[in-house]
């Protein structure tokens, strides 16, 4: 099957963006033009640069980047909106005769693009009411309600998984369709023309890389960046982003900068574990173990896959 796109995935701080940039430049040097498509839930927000490790202006000049700086941080930007825009972007890159290189660590966004999932919309008022009901009645009560409304969806969920139950009921009420009607679910992995690879480090090495990245972000002005963003207004989603939530707490006087720094490191390490677990579930992903230098070690191997 002809490769229609490449997806470079992995945990935060794994070096996937550097590999993607190098791969695009090497392909361009042999007359196979490539363009990068960010698959990051937070890089879509303008002004959220340091805390999202957004590609620099110079890097964006070297290789075209897409889905970076799409909306203001005061705007809620859903996965459904992302998939719609990203699908159009991928198709446009291919139409120009270039190879799309998807790069990022937001697992649901990547999966939705790879398999062109139909993503239900969102209904915030319904969700807030359901979340309140969970607090009052418990998740098991809402799971029984879901079982009556959409038995297939209920069978896929643990009765205590409040987040997934609320989402399913939100879609049932908001769309008038069963949640299960929006596709076979995330446990099915059909054949795809998108070549997926992922970077993997030893856990303790990745932990050190995360700590170093957080310290560099703070040295580069993350606190001032968050202060400026607060002045302009942050959406609920943007305000919950890793690094931003903790600095907001610091600026609000709820913790010291030292405590905020330690919390960012801890939550980012936990997030990295969840990212790897998500990607490990997809048997179509080819894993590359990194020892020292992801660009030098992984880029030639991806090139070999494409030739």
Same domain, 71 and 214: no
**Domain presence at residue 187:** no
Work out the average pLDDT over 110-123: 88
pLDDT over 90 at 303, yes or no? yes
Helices (H), ranges, the chain: 16-29, 57-62, 79-95, 107-114, 124-137, 139-149, 151-155, 162-175, 203-219, 222-232, 236-239, 244-251, 257-280, 294-306
Same domain, 85 and 151: no
Nearest residue to 110 (alpha-carbon basis) of 87, 77, 76? 87
Same domain, 74 and 215: no
CB 275 within 8 A of CB 184: no
The predicted model scores a pTM of 0.86
Same domain, 104 and 144: no
Same domain, 49 and 198: yes
pLDDT in tens, 119-146: 888 898 999 999 999 999 999 999 999 9
- Count of structural domains within the chain: 3
pLDDT in tens, 254-285: 999 999 999 999 999 999 999 999 999 999 99
What local confidence, expressed as pLDDT, does residue 184 receive? 66
First to last CA, the chain: 13
Q: What is the mean pLDDT of the chain?
A: 94
Same domain, 198 and 65: yes
Same domain, 31 and 58: yes
**Domain presence at residue 293:** yes
Work out the average pLDDT over 110-120: 89
What local confidence, expressed as pLDDT, does residue 29 receive? 83
Same domain, 73 and 198: yes
Whole-number percent of the chain with pLDDT over 70: 99
């Amino acid at each position: 099957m002809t490769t229609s796109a490449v997806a470079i995935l992995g945990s935060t701080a794994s070096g996937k963006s550097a590999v993607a940039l190098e791969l695009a430049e090497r392909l361009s040097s042999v007359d196979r033009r490539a363009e990068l498509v960010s698959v990051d839930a937070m890089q879509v927000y303008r002004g959220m640069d340091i805390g999202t490790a957004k590609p620099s202006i110079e890097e964006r000049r070297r290789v075209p980047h897409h889905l970076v700086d799409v909306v203001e941080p005061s705007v809620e930007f859903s996965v459904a909106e992302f998939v719609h825009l990203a699908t159009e972007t991928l198709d446009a890159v291919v139409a120009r005769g270039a190879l799309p290189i998807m790069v990022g660590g937001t697992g649901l966004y990547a999966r939705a693009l790879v398999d062109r999932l139909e993503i239900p919309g969102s209904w915030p008022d319904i969700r807030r009411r359901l979340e309140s009901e969970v607090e009052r009645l418990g998740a098991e009560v809402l799971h029984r309600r879901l079982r009556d409304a959409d038995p297939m969806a209920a069978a896929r969920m643990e009765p205590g998984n409040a987040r997934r139950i609320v989402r399913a009921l939100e879609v049932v009420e908001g769309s008038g369709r069963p949640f299960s009607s929006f596709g076979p679910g995330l446990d099915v992995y059909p054949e795809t023309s998108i070549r997926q690879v992922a970077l993997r480090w030893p856990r303790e090495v990745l932990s050190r890389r995360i700590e170093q990245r957080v310290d560099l972000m703070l040295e580069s002005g993350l606190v001032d960046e968050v202060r400026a963003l607060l002045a302009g207004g942050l959406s609920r989603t943007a305000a919950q982003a890793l690094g931003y939530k903790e600095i907001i707490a610091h600026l609000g006087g709820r913790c010291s900068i030292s405590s905020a720094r330690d919390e960012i490191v801890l939550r980012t390490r936990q997030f990295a574990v969840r990212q790897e677990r998500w990607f490990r579930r997809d048997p179509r992903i080819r894993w590359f173990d990194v020892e020292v230098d992801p660009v030098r070690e992984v880029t030639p191997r991806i090139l070999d896959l494409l030739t």
